[in-house]
Structure 1
Amino acid sequence: MIIGVPKEIKNNENRVALTPAGTAEMVKRGHVVYVQATAGIGSGFTDDDYRLAGAKMLPAIEDVYAIADMIIKVKEPIASEYPLIKKGQILYTYFHFASSEELTKAMMEREAICLAYETVELDDRSLPLLIPMSEVAGRMSVQEGAKYLEKTYGGYGVLLGGVPGVTPAKVLIIGGGIVGTEAAKMAAGLGADVTIMDVSLKRLRYLDDIMPANVKTMMSNEFNIREMVQSHILIIGAVLIPGAKAPKLITRDMLPTMRPGTVMVDVAVDQGGCFETTKPTTHDHPNFVIDDVIHYCVANMPGAVPRTSTLALTNATLPNAIQLANKGWKQACTDDLPLRKGLNVVEGKIVYKEVADAFDLPYVPVDTVL
């Protein structure tokens, strides 16, 4: 199979979808890998690194899309890429379709085979290709939140861990999955007073067992959220419903009840965000203020630490990429149920129900396209 790796062109997206090591694994299996020039620079990989691994370099993104049977990316295609996508071409990347009707309809129109990292799902309902970036984003959410709490950025002006004689800052984390767990670890490590909320009592019991003493657990519901946002000055949204839009758990009317300079970090922004006032931001312009509350809603947070993120991501995505290249998408998805769940849009049809439901579009069961 001919594999194409274009350079990411989303704002400040410095990750790359295939490392030189991954390239070598593809090449030794008889596949041809074309990489766009400088695609790996942001993650510390030179064009020569790829050439030594057996890749062929192409100068322009148009060249990569034109020649490849399968495109491997990190982020969803943006509007300038839509016309480059060929009918029947495999696109293996993060899509987050439920947050963008425009993207969904564009991929239907192009009749591509869209495999979304974020909906590949194991029997235990874990999301193996989303976990690495959730780990990165969860840890970064506290790092970024702590920064914007500084008065320089308009924040409340507190140190998360306080100092002897001064109480630590209160951090509220809504969602006890991978993102929330990693955020709680980081905030707790910095000495903050942390509360983590979830709707699963089983998950809260687990978190209560593993977390240090400065992390408390609480059932997530509207009453508790309304009460907690009044006293917590860093709020992290870490809610995920696989493949579907995130629920709006912090509403517009809650903002005036918060302390001026409170920081809200919405890690669920790729899935539409779990704050009603969320709108996607970029690393160039990462935050905005409503009612004296700072919103940090960068849609590709891990792109700011591309070396770590690229290595973590490709560790997870490469085995499936090899399956797709070796067998073709139909056979690979027939043989591997978790990978089959990654199929979202196939040859103009939506085959992932939550995406169809998000926009009231027709749904076709995935088995009918295999």
Structure 2
Amino acid sequence: MIIGVPKEIKNNENRVALTPAGAAEFRKNGHKVYVQATAGQGSGFEDSEYEAVGATILGTIEEVYAIAEMIVKVKEPIASEYGLIKENQLLFTYFHFASSEELTHAMLKSNSVCLAYETVEKVDRSLPLLVPMSEVAGRMAIQEGAKYLEKPMGGRGILLGGVAGVKPANVLVLGGGIVGAQSAKMAAGLGANVTIVDINLNRLRYLEDILPANVDTVMSNEYNIRDLVKSADLIVGAVLIPGAKAPHLVTRDMLKLMKKGTVLVDVAVDQGGCIETCKPTTHEDPIYEIDGIVHYCVANMPGAVPYTSTLALTNATLPYAIQLANKGWQKACTLNEDLKKGLNVVNGKVVYKAVADAFGLKFTSVEEVLEEELVG
């Protein structure tokens, strides 16, 4: 198979979808790899490193899309890429379709095959290709939140861990999944008073056991959240419903209950956000204020630490990408249930129900589409 690795062009996105080590694995399996010039530079990988393992460097993104049968990316295509995508071309990347109707319709129109990292799912319901970036984003949420709590950055002027004789900050984490657990761990490690909420009592019991003593667990409901936001200095949105839009746990009217200079970090922004006043921002312009409340809503947080993020991501994605290349997406998705659940859009059809429901589109079962493909 011919593999294409374009350079990421989303604002301040420095990650790359394939390392030289990954390119070497593809070559070892008999595949051709084409990498756009300087695609790996932001993550610390030079073109010469890709060439040394047998990859070919192409000068433009247009050349990469034109030659590739499978495009391996990090972030979803943006508008300038829509016209480059070919019919039947396989795209393997993060899509987060439920947060963008424009992207969904563009991919339907392209008649491409869109396999989303974020919905590849194991039998135990874990999301193996979302976990590494969730770990990075969860830890970064505290790092960035602590920075924007500083007075010159618009925050309350609070040191997260406090000092002797001065109370530490109060951190509220909404959601007890990977992002939430990592956020709570980081905040607790810095000495903050942390409260983590979730709707799953079994998950709360687990978190109670593994997290430090300065982390409290609370059942998530509107009454409790309304009470907790009053004393919170930093609130982290860490809610995920796989493939679907995140619910609003913090509503517009709750901002009036918060102290001026409170910082909100919505890690769920790429799934629509779990804070109603959230809108996607970039590393170039990461924050805005509403009613004196600082909102940090960068949609590609791990892009700020590309070396760590790229290695963590490709460690997880490469085995799946190799399967797709070796067997073709039809056979690979038939044989591997994890990959099958990653299919979201196939040749003009929505095959992931949460995406169809988000925009009132017709849903076609993935089994039906795979049967047609294999027979055809």
Q: TM-score, normalised by structure 1?
A: 1.00
Q: Where has structure 1 moved over 6 Å in runs of 4 or more?
A: none
Q: Tell me which residue corresponds to 2:237.
A: 237
Show CA shifts across 1:182-210 (max 9, x none): 00010000000000000000000000001
Work out whether 1:361 is the aligned partner of 2:340. Answer: no
Deviation at 1:155, TM superposition (A): 0.3
Equivalent residue for 2:117?
117
Corresponding residue for residue 87 of structure 1: 87
Equivalent position SS for 1:191:
coil
Give per-residue Cα distances to partners, 1:14-69, cap 9 Å, x unaligned. 00000000000000111000000000000000000000011000000000000000
TM-score, normalising length: structure 2: 0.98
SS in structure 1 at match of 2:162: coil
Structure 2 counterpart SS, 1:84:
coil
The equivalences for 1:9-158 within 5 A come to 9-158=9-158
Code of the aligned partner of 1:330: Q
Residues in 1 aligned to 2:63 and 2:98: alpha-carbon distance in whole angstroms: 29
1:276 matched to which residue of 2? Answer: 276
Distance in structure 2 (CA, Å) of the matches to 1:176 and 1:238: 7
SS of equivalent to 2:164: coil
Give aligned-pair identity as a percent.
73
Partner of 2:317: 317
Distance (Å, rounded) in 2 between the aligned partners of 1:75 and 1:44 = 18
C-alpha distance in structure 2 between counterparts of 1:197 and 1:288, whole Å: 25
Q: What number of residue pairs does the alignment pair up?
A: 370
What's the counterpart of residue 204 of structure 1?
A: 204
The amino acid that maps onto 2:255 is L
Question: What's the secondary structure of 2:83's corresponding residue?
Answer: helix
Rounded to whole Å, the distance in 2 between the matches of 1:207 and 1:150 is: 29
Q: CA RMSD in A?
A: 0.3
Match of 1:336 in 2: 336
**Aligned AA (2:66):** A
Matches within 5 A, 1:187-202: 187-202=187-202
SS of the residue corresponding to residue 171 of structure 1 reads: strand
Question: Structure 1: how far apart are the matches of 2:210 and 2:110?
Answer: 47
Residue 268 of structure 1 aligns to a residue whose secondary structure is helix
| Mapped pair 1:292 → 2:292 | yes
| Separation (CA, whole Å) in 2 of partners of 1:239 and 1:39 | 31
| 1:59-110 superposed Cα distances (whole Å, 9 cap, x missing partner) | 0000000000000000000000000000000000000000000000000000
Equivalent residue, structure 2, for 1:255? 255
* Cα displacement (A) at 1:221: 0.3
**Using the alignment, how far apart are the partners of 1:295 and 1:191 within structure 2?**
23
Tell me the CA shift for residue 369 of structure 1: 1.0
- Aligned residue in 2 for 1:173: 173
> Which residues of structure 2 form unaligned runs of 5+?
371-376
Q: Distance in 2 between matches of 1:22 and 1:284?
A: 30
